């Protein structure tokens, strides 16, 4: 969960920061071989830079507090179980805590594990105190990151094993402490009429895992027999010493069933939790996106320079064509001149053709005599470039009126499109050329 | 001195220079307008890989005074090896002249070592006045090629080709509004051949662009998988009491529909961002759940716990109390207390939830809820999926000069080539996605293969 929280936290800082994320890695050769390692490392670096420890720090606190709390509870349980009040401590009662509870706990853990791995909804895990602690913690609203339920539950299951071990370590410590500093005697009895032999057999089954290794921790028939119906007043001091030896067996029960079996279970739970965490992290869309940014080339096409586009008034007014003009000027139109004049019914005494090859000096020469009303015929699709508009501007100074006629394609019988008219009229309006208009 | 390839995209105003730059550098932030003279400054668009420039494209204003410039250039007769110097002299002499501002902006990148990409509009008739511009560019002495932009309806390509081959060794036809990825790659490859030194860096860049495209397809499929998973599993709850039940139900339905729409729209935005499109809008967008009748579920909770948790907690408490009895019996009960306590607690929890909790108690300690979702309508999921796939294909194929709105409606099924086998596989995965998110990867891989095939990548 630490990895998940760290990564989620770091992602908040570095959202959409492609190149910066990549720059965090000095040794670029090593990155991206292991994606999970890469993202973990990335989060570490980011959080270190941002000096953000809050989340994992608090989470660790919860776990540490739980471990200590359960250890103390173990000691308290042990102390209450071994409380000596003129009656011997009931071995069966102690066994229920040192054997039955661990076995039930392990059974529940296995059941929860199966539930988490196979089902979307779980119930068993909701029993665990850590789950309630998390819910309590979450309500504080300090927890901005939502941990996926599957990850949270597999983590709680995994951490619960440590907490359980801590509890039994507490019981064991309590047991050792009490037997070290006081004289505890044990006894047993049952209304079920269990004989000493029958109980011995049960004890042999229970202590089977260690009977070869620690035979002294297997209760003898004599011990079982002597501690049955134990009453301190009736027995001699030697028997008292003997029945005190139950502690070895009880300690081994805690060590084996309460601690050792849990240690074994930690491994698959840890492996599963880590796998879930890794899967969730590497399936997270933002993580995948970030990994891509770190591991794949970052392509950028942005420009630094701001654009300052010219904005024209697209609704400029147009004018109507006259019947007669003193001058007709054709700009870069050297074909079908007569046809064009006829097509648009243009009557003019003077027709001036500006050829594409004409130099600017030549153009000035050709236009020197222009005066009165003039029609300026241009290719509608051709842009009103500066040298053309400058020419129109100059003509407007010495003419009565300049009417611009943008013509269309030959294929369209020279009819201009609305776009041609619009482009020319807005440009002329933009340039504020006096006595000049564009013919609709 | 930077040695990466530079290309100045030049020509007459309004011939589609900005469109070509936008498509070639995959950037849709360049202003494109039908009004000539919109571009007033020369702007460079570098293609950077990990911060390093691989090549650079210059969007330039159009020629405004070609006749004047050529006339000036010709006032002094110089031999071929000094012609580019003549251009430099012109730029130096008229640097502060407002009249020549655009022309100088156009010539500057060429003088700084950029290759010339001369753009003409193949949908407009050829005119010999363009030869003046080509003559000026010849003066520059830079490596050059011409592109006939076939952006309009009419076709005068042949005339243009005939004319341009007299001035340029390489002439290519290209439509920046319709060009697909292989066509863009092909054009960039041609551009690299303008100068031998540019071949290698451009080839490297093209390889990166190709890989990036595959990566983008993968990312797109992950976005779709993520959003479908979220929609499938989305739940929305509101509290109600008996007086406002119907109002709250309607409110919940509205919020639920709105949030599903938002999820889909967020996915559209993310897909646009992956493909670096920032200026495309959705057209005719209709909400997925607009006319769909939704069913809600009512439930109660106490202390923030739902029915299931109350029963579990009750069983747990019973087991704890049973454990206490076990302890009190000094282990004599052999854990039966835990077992019996657990069962009794559980039963009490069930009875308590169903019978004992009356309205007053719930209003005091708990709440009543209306819950919508998860969405189990498979047909509806297909509608969302089709929309996202259609949008992805449309965006992935779009050159960046094309900023038309994308039409999104609920009947896009026929636009996509989805086989019945693929549909079955998708349907199976939709059902699995309801159970677990672990199928998200399999789902996104299936979509990735489909998109890759459709986009021919």
Residue of A nearest to B339 (CA): A104
DSSP state of A305: S
Cα B279 to chain center, whole Å? Answer: 10
- Interatomic CA distance for residues B114 and B4, integer angstroms: 10
Q: Are B34 and A411 a contacting pair at CB < 8 A?
A: no
| pTM for this prediction | 0.75
Nearest CB among A190, A361, A423 relative to B36 is that of A423
pLDDT value of position B396: 94
* Cβ within 8 Å of A, B 351-410: none
A298 contacts in B (CB within 8 Å)? 48-51
B124 inside 8 A of chain A by CB: yes
What CA–CA distance (Å, rounded) separates B111 from B8?
A: 10
- B46 contact residues in A (CB cutoff 8 A): 300-301, 303
* Minimum-distance CB partner of B335 among A104, A303, A363: A104
* 3-state secondary structure at position B366: strand
Q: Which of residues 44-103 of B touch A (CB under 8 A)?
A: 44-51, 62-68, 71, 99, 102
pLDDT of B283 reads 77
User: Which contacts of B426-433 are long-range, i.e. CB under 8 A and separated by 24 or more positions?
Assistant: B426/B382, B426/B385, B427/B378, B427/B382, B430/B228, B430/B232, B430/B378, B430/B381, B431/B378, B433/B228, B433/B229, B433/B232, B433/B233
Residue B284, classified by CB atoms within 10 Å of its CB into exposed (0-12), middle (13-18) or buried (19+), is exposed
B437 touches A: beta carbon within 8 Å:
yes
Q: Is B22 on the interface with A (CB under 8 A)?
A: no
Q: What is the pLDDT of residue A273?
A: 87
Judged by DSSP in three states, B285 sits in coil
Helices and strands in chain B, H and E counts:
15, 12
8-state DSSP, A146:
P
Instruction: Please return the burial class of A320, using the count of CB atoms within 10 Å of its CB with bins 0-12, 13-18 and 19+.
Output: exposed
Q: Using alpha carbons only, how large is chain B's radius of gyration in Å?
A: 34
Cα of first residue to Cα of last residue in chain B, in angstroms, is: 36
Choose, out of A285, A390, A411, A413, the residue to mutate when testing the contact with B (most B CBs < 10 Å).
Answer: A285
Contact A310 B35 (CB under 8 A): yes
CB contact A301 to B (< 8 Å) = yes
Residues of chain A whose pLDDT is less than 50? 139-143
Cα Dmax for chain A? 150
- In Å, how far are A103, A337, A349 from A341, measured between CA atoms? 108, 6, 12
The beta-strand segments (E) located in B303-337 are 305-306
84-103 of A, contacting B, C-beta below 8 A: 90, 92-97, 100
CA distance B104 to B86: 13
Model pLDDT, residue A139: 45
Does the beta carbon of A193 lie under 8 angstroms from any beta carbon of chain B? no
Note whether A379 contacts B: Cβ–Cβ < 8 A.
yes
Residue A298 per-residue DSSP state: P
In 3D space, the residue among B318, B389, B393, B384 whose CA is nearest the CA of residue B349 turns out to be B318
Which of B50, B219, B276 is closest, CB to CB, to A292? B219
Rounded to whole angstroms, how far apart are CA atoms B122 and B164?
A: 11
The C-alpha atoms of residue B242 and residue B360 are separated, in whole angstroms, by 11
pLDDT of residue B356: 54
Nearest CA in chain A to B39: A309
A356:B49 CB<8 A: no
Return the SS3 of B76.
coil
Phi, psi (5° rounding) for residue B240? Answer: -145, 160
Q: DSSP letter string over B4-37?
A: S-EEEEEESTTSSHHHHHHHHTT-TTS---SSTT
**Which are the contacts of B47, defined by CB distance < 8 A and separation ≥ 6?**
A299, A300, A301, B25, B53, B54, B55, B56, B57, B205
CA distance A99 to A101: 6
The region, left, alpha or beta by phi > 0 then psi within -120 to 50, assigned to residue B334 is: left
CB-CB under 8 Å, A423 with B35:
yes
Shortest Cα distance, chain A CAs vs residue B67, angstroms:
6
Residues A205/A206/A209/A213 CA torsion (nearest 10 deg): -100
CB pairs under 8 A between A and B: 177
**Residues 42 to 81 of A: which have CB under 8 A from any B CB?**
none
Distance from the Cα of residue B273 to its chain's centroid: 4
Cis link prior to B311 (omega < 30° from 0)?
no
What per-residue confidence (pLDDT) applies to B331? 47
Asked whether the beta carbons of A329 and A377 are under 8 A apart, the reply is yes
User: Whole-angstrom Cα distance, residue B400 to residue A291?
Assistant: 26
* Interface with B, mutate which of A299, A316, A359 (most B CBs under 10 A): A299
Tokens standing for B344?
């009794």
- The pLDDT tens digits along chain B (457 residues) read 457 999 999 999 888 888 999 999 888 887 777 766 667 788 888 888 878 888 999 999 999 999 999 999 999 888 888 899 999 999 999 999 999 999 999 999 999 999 999 999 999 999 888 999 999 999 999 999 999 998 878 899 999 999 999 999 999 999 999 999 999 999 999 999 999 999 998 998 899 999 999 999 999 999 999 999 989 888 888 888 878 888 888 888 889 888 998 999 999 999 998 898 988 888 767 777 766 666 667 776 665 566 666 676 677 677 767 666 655 554 445 556 667 777 777 777 677 666 555 555 555 566 778 888 788 777 888 888 999 999 999 999 999 999 888 887 656 666 788 888 999 999 999 988 887 777 888 999 999 999 999 998 6
Q: How far apart are CA B114 and CA B99, in angstroms?
A: 24
Write the CB contacts of A176 (distance below 8 Å, at least 6 apart in sequence).
Answer: A251
Please provide residue A273's backbone torsions phi and psi, each rounded to the nearest 5 degrees.
Answer: -65, -40
Nearest chain A alpha carbon to B56 = A301
pLDDT tens figures, A269-311 = 889 889 988 888 888 878 888 888 788 887 887 766 666 666 6
Residue A251 CA to residue A269 CA, distance in Å, equals 26
B41 in contact with A at a CB cutoff of 8 Å?
A: yes
- Nearest-by-CA chain A residue for B71: A359
C-alpha B72/C-alpha A322 separation (Å) is 38
Residues 142-161 of B with CB under 8 A from A: 154
Structure tokens at B197: 């030194």
Q: With an 8 Å Cβ cutoff, are A387 and B131 in contact?
A: no
Output phi, psi for A100, to 5 deg. Answer: -65, -45
Is the CB of residue B57 less than 8 Å from the CB of residue B307?
no
User: Which of B41, B129, B215 lies nearest to residue A332, judging by beta carbons?
Assistant: B129
A399 burial (CB, 10 Å; 0-12 / 13-18 / 19+) is buried
Which pairing describes strands B115-121 and B6-11: parallel, antiparallel, or unpaired? parallel
| Token digits of residue B163 | 């004319």
Whole-number pLDDT of residue A356: 83
């Amino acid at each position: 969960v630490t990895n998940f929280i760290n990564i989620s936290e770091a992602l908040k800082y570095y959202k959409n920061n492609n190149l910066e994320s990549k720059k965090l890695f000095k040794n670029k050769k090593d990155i991206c071989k292991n994606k999970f390692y890469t993202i973990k490392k990335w989060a570490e670096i980011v959080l270190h830079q941002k000096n953000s420890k809050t989340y994992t720090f608090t989470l660790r606190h919860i776990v540490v507090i739980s471990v200590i709390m359960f250890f103390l509870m173990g000691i308290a349980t042990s102390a209450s179980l071994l409380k000596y009040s003129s009656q011997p401590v009931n071995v069966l009662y102690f066994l229920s805590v040192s054997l039955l509870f661990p076995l039930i706990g392990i059974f529940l853990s296995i059941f929860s594990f199966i539930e988490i791995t196979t089902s979307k909804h779980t119930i068993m895990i909701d029993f665990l105190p850590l789950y309630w602690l998390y819910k309590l913690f979450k309500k504080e609203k300090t927890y901005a990151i939502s941990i996926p339920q599957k990850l949270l539950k597999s983590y709680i299951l995994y951490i619960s094993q440590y907490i359980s071990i801590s509890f039994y370590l507490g019981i064991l410590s309590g047991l050792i402490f009490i037997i070290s500093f006081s004289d505890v005697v044990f006894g047993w009895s049952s209304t079920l009429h269990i004989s000493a032999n029958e109980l011995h057999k049960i004890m042999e089954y229970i202590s089977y895992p260690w009977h070869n290794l620690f035979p002294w921790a297997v209760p003898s028939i004599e011990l079982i027999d002597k501690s049955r119906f134990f009453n301190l007043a009736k027995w001699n001091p030697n028997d008292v010493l003997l029945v005190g030896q139950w502690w070895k067996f009880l300690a081994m029960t805690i060590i084996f069933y309460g601690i050792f079996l849990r240690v074994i279970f930690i491994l698959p739970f840890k492996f599963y939790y880590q796998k879930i965490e890794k899967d969730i992290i590497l399936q997270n869309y933002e993580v995948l996106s970030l990994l891509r940014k770190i591991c794949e080339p970052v392509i950028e096409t942005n420009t630094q320079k701001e654009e300052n586009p010219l904005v024209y008034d697209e609704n400029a007014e147009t004018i109507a064509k006259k019947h007669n003009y003193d001058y007709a000027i054709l700009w870069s139109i050297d074909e079908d001149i007569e046809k064009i004049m006829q097509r648009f019914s243009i009557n003019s005494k003077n027709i001036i053709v500006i050829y594409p090859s004409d130099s600017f000096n030549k153009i000035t020469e050709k236009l020197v005599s222009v005066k009165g009303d003039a029609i300026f015929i241009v290719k509608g699709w051709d842009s009103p470039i500066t040298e053309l508009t400058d020419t129109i501007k100059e003509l407007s100074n010495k003419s009565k009126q300049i009417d611009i006629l943008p013509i269309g394609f030959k294929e369209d019988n020279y009819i201009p499109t609305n776009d041609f008219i619009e482009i020319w009229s807005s440009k002329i309006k933009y340039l504020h050329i006096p006595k000049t208009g564009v013919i609709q | 001195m930077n040695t990466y390839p530079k290309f100045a995209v030049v020509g007459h105003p309004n011939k589609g220079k900005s469109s070509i730059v936008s498509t070639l550098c995959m950037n849709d932030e360049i202003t494109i307008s039908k009004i000539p003279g919109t571009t007033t400054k020369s702007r460079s668009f570098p293609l950077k890989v990990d911060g390093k420039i691989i090549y650079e494209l210059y969007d330039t204003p159009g020629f405004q005074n070609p006749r004047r410039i050529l006339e000036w250039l010709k006032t002094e007769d110089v031999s071929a090896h000094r012609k580019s110097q003549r251009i430099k002299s012109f730029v130096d002499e008229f640097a502060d002249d407002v009249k020549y501002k655009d022309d100088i902006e156009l010539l500057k990148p060429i003088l700084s070592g950029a290759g010339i990409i001369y753009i003409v509009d193949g949908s407009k008739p050829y005119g010999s006045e363009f030869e003046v511009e080509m003559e000026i560019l010849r003066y520059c002495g830079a490596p050059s090629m011409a592109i006939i932009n076939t952006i309009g309806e009419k076709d005068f390509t042949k005339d243009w080709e005939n004319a341009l081959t007299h001035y340029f060794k390489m002439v290519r036809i290209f439509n920046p509004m319709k060009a697909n990825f292989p066509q863009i790659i092909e054009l960039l490859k041609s551009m690299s051949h303008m100068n031998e030194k540019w071949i290698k860096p451009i080839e490297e860049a093209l390889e990166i662009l190709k890989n990036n495209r595959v990566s983008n397809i993968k990312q797109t499929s992950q976005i779709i998988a993520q959003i479908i998973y979220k929609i499938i599993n989305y739940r929305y709850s509101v509290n109600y009491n008996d007086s406002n039940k119907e109002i709250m139900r309607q409110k919940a339905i509205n919020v639920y529909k709105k949030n599903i729409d938002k999820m889909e729209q967020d996915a559209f935005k993310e897909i646009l961002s992956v493909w670096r499109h920032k200026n495309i809008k959705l057209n005719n967008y209709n909400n997925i759940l607009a006319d769909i009748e939704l069913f809600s579920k009512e439930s109660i909770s106490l202390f923030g716990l739902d029915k299931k948790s109350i029963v579990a907690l009750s069983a747990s408490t019973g087991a704890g109390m049973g454990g206490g009895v076990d302890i009190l019996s000094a282990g004599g009960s052999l854990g039966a207390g835990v077992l019996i306590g657990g069962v009794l607690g559980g039963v009490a929890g069930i009875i308590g939830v169903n019978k004992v909790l009356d309205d007053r108690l719930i209003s005091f300690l708990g709440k009543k809820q209306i819950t919508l979702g998860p969405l189990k309508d498979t047909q509806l999921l297909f509608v969302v999926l089709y929309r996202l796939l259609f949008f992805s294909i449309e965006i992935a194929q779009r050159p960046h000069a094309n900023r038309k709105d994308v039409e999104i409606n609920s009947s896009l099924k026929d636009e996509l080539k989805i086989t019945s086998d693929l549909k079955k596989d998708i349907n199976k995965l939709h059902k699995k996605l309801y159970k677990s998110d672990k199928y998200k990867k399999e789902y996104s891989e299936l979509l990735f293969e489909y998109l890759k095939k459709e986009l021919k990548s």
